[in-house]
Structure 1
Amino acid sequence: MTEDNTQTLTIGDVDVIRVVEWARPFAPARTLVPDVPPEVWEDNRDVLAPDHWEPETDRAVVALQTWVVRSAGLTVLVDTGVGNGRERPGNPLFHMSQGDLPGRLARAGVRPEDVDVVVNTHIHGDHVGWNTHDVDGSWVPLFPNARYLLPAADDFHFGPANNYGGAVRPDDRLTYEDSVAPVHRAGLATVWDGMYRVDEHLTLESAPGHTPGSSVLRVASGGERGVFVGDLLHSPVQIAHPECSSCFCLDPGQAARSRRRVLERAADEGELVIPAHFGGTGVAEVRRVGDTLMLGK
């Protein structure tokens, strides 16, 4: 896939457009998912390379992307990437980056004013960045007519009431203040907890662990199903090894439990799994063999 490519798929009566900002080798494989044994990557080379793993450098390949979901007359965005000109001293790849998500959305037929709902699966800098843009030196919502759906546990954890994630990472304060707080000030934020129905086809559900408020967006339409899983998965190796969390998970044990629960349901109900950062086609089918999960065929 080229970095300026888009893909489309349908889930019943719901249309999905994948808008990719970039896809590239990101981090050493065993830094990204530390508990996956080295032989797992090599034994699954035919599945992982080149879309999810670069064997020559032993780096995991990931994508930065946003999903446009057209459902029941609504235009919904699932996660909004890094944004432009953000101070992110803890992450050189994202610090003061210059992307073009608005341009890519426009080429996919989506203008900012067309967006009805923005779903932030969780509040990490690479999922909320284009919530806002710079207008005359101030951060303001990019999507002026949208409801921004924010998980309550994340809004609290990363917000000022909790000293921006407990003041562990400066990037958390910066992310909240430039990408989340302006949405609150504009009166566009809807903070939800547990479960939230977006429309007749779309439902948000809590799946904590990666962050306290990590969530998944379920799609059910015309007898077909899908689930946007955010950062529950960073690599296909976690499908066969759901006990292995990424290095970014704040509570790895809880993340593993959420991951297994979501993946087992996907296998049992035939849900198409749509992670935030998969390369290749960006989606995965999961099947179950006994107690083992694996990529479907």
Structure 2
Amino acid sequence: MTSPSWTVGDLTVHRIDETLLPPATGPWLLPSATPEIVAGHDWLRPDFANHEGVLSLSSHTFAFTLGDRRILVDTGIGNGKTRENPAWHDLRTDYLDRLIAAGYTPESVDMVIMTHLHTDHVGWNTRATEGIWAPTFPNARYLTSRTEWDFWAAYDMEPARRQMFEDSVYPIEQAGLLDVLDVPTHGLDIAPGLRLLPTPGHTPGQIAVQLTSGAHTAVITGDCIHHPVQLPHPEIGSCVDIDPTQAEITRRTLLSTLADTNALLFGTHFPPPTAGRVLSHAGAYRLAPLDPDA
């Protein structure tokens, strides 16, 4: 069981697969990405969309070692959790086995970065242990932005979202493992080569993760970009964006900073090959996919 990985300078970034999302996900999540729009971009097929124009998406996370810190970005949907979305309900995936096979046992992880507090990004924060939801990574600090934390703390949650917080977020806080960080507009360096970038819109306090090693740079998107179709069409937003206008501004700003550089973009929901470089194209952008290291 080998995890796909990419080299960023002296760093190795592993994609830890959880599950491919069902075909209905694309039309629901990005309703403006119609088959007609997809058909206008041959490079999306067959990896990022099928020949009928249906988008492909996946749930995975990223793991890397920076100095002596072993770091995980997001934790997916999780196993055995009661979820309103049938595609996320009571999963039984081998995600944790894949993480361990990549060299990251739960006890060895030092840091978990939560790009935002949505169900499919925090699920493996915890796992069922002796009848309770216990932290999966007991020696890690779990990081999120203060804007994100404060927003949901004041939010009138519907039952499904409250269930998610109760089984996957609040146990981390109760265990004393949560760090809530002030992330300024220019970003926050939390270790040499590791920077949190504010990417608001999808949620108010969402962050992306920037890695730097020598002359090499990479950005892990979180959900400011859900799918490569949003590169040629940054105006296409998600049905669950809290502030769609801000989400588009964030997307355009990030893409403009990455375009035509050597920076590698890692999509948190991009199906394989998942990573690539952003190229200027026809007044917007396209992705030049980069296969994992052999």
Normalised by the length of structure 1, the TM-score is 0.90
CA RMSD of aligned residues (A): 1.8
Match of 2:18 in 1: 21
Distance 2:228 2:282 in 1: 19
Distance 1:24 1:84 in 2: 15
1:144 to 116, 138, 156: 138
1:189 to 178, 192, 201: 178
Distance 1:252 1:108 in 2: 36
- Whether contact under 8 Å (1:66, 1:77) holds in the other structure is yes
- Whether contact under 8 Å (1:232, 1:275) holds in the other structure is no
2:98 to 90, 101, 104: 104
Distance 1:122 1:199 in 2: 20
Distance 2:110 2:267 in 1: 22
Normalised by the length of structure 2, the TM-score is 0.91
Distance 1:237 1:257 in 2: 16
Give the C-alpha shift of residue 76 in structure 1: 0.4
Q: Which moved more, 1:24-33 or 1:58-67?
A: 24-33
Stretches of structure 1 lacking an aligned partner (at least 5 in a row): none
Stretches of structure 2 lacking an aligned partner (at least 5 in a row): 290-294
Match of 1:36 in 2: 33
1:72 to 67, 70, 85: 67
Letter in 1 for 2:14: I
Match of 1:216 in 2: 208
Structure 1 pair 28/120, CA: closer, same or farther in 2 (3 Å)? Answer: closer
Please give the secondary structure, in 2, of the residue aligned with 1:59: coil
Structure 1 pair 85/28, CA: closer, same or farther in 2 (3 Å)? Answer: closer
Structure 1 pair 37/99, CA: closer, same or farther in 2 (3 Å)? Answer: closer
Alignment of 1:44-193 (within 5 A): 44=41, 46-56=42-52, 58-89=53-84, 91-159=85-153, 162=154, 165-167=155-157, 169-193=158-182
Count the aligned residue pairs. Answer: 286
Give the C-alpha shift of residue 291 in structure 1: 4.4
- Whether contact under 8 Å (2:16, 2:99) holds in the other structure is yes
What percent identity do the matched residue pairs reach? 38
Please give the secondary structure, in 2, of the residue aligned with 1:203: strand
- Whether contact under 8 Å (1:274, 1:283) holds in the other structure is yes
Distance 1:38 1:67 in 2: 30
Please give the secondary structure, in 1, of the residue aligned with 2:170: helix
Distance 1:134 1:28 in 2: 27
Letter in 2 for 1:189: L
Distance 1:29 1:245 in 2: 12
Q: Which moved more, 1:150-159 or 1:104-113?
A: 150-159
Distance 2:168 2:71 in 1: 18
Give the C-alpha shift of residue 36 in structure 1: 3.4
Q: Which moved more, 1:24-33 or 1:190-199?
A: 24-33
Letter in 2 for 1:176: F
Distance 2:135 2:72 in 1: 14
Runs of 4+ deviating beyond 6 Å: none
- Whether contact under 8 Å (2:149, 2:180) holds in the other structure is yes
Distance 1:49 1:130 in 2: 31
Letter in 2 for 1:104: R
Distance 2:217 2:250 in 1: 19
Distance 1:118 1:138 in 2: 20
Distance 1:188 1:144 in 2: 8
Distance 1:152 1:123 in 2: 11
Please give the secondary structure, in 1, of the residue aligned with 2:23: strand
Letter in 1 for 2:47: D
Distance 2:108 2:88 in 1: 27
Find out whether 1:206 has 2:198 as its counterpart: yes
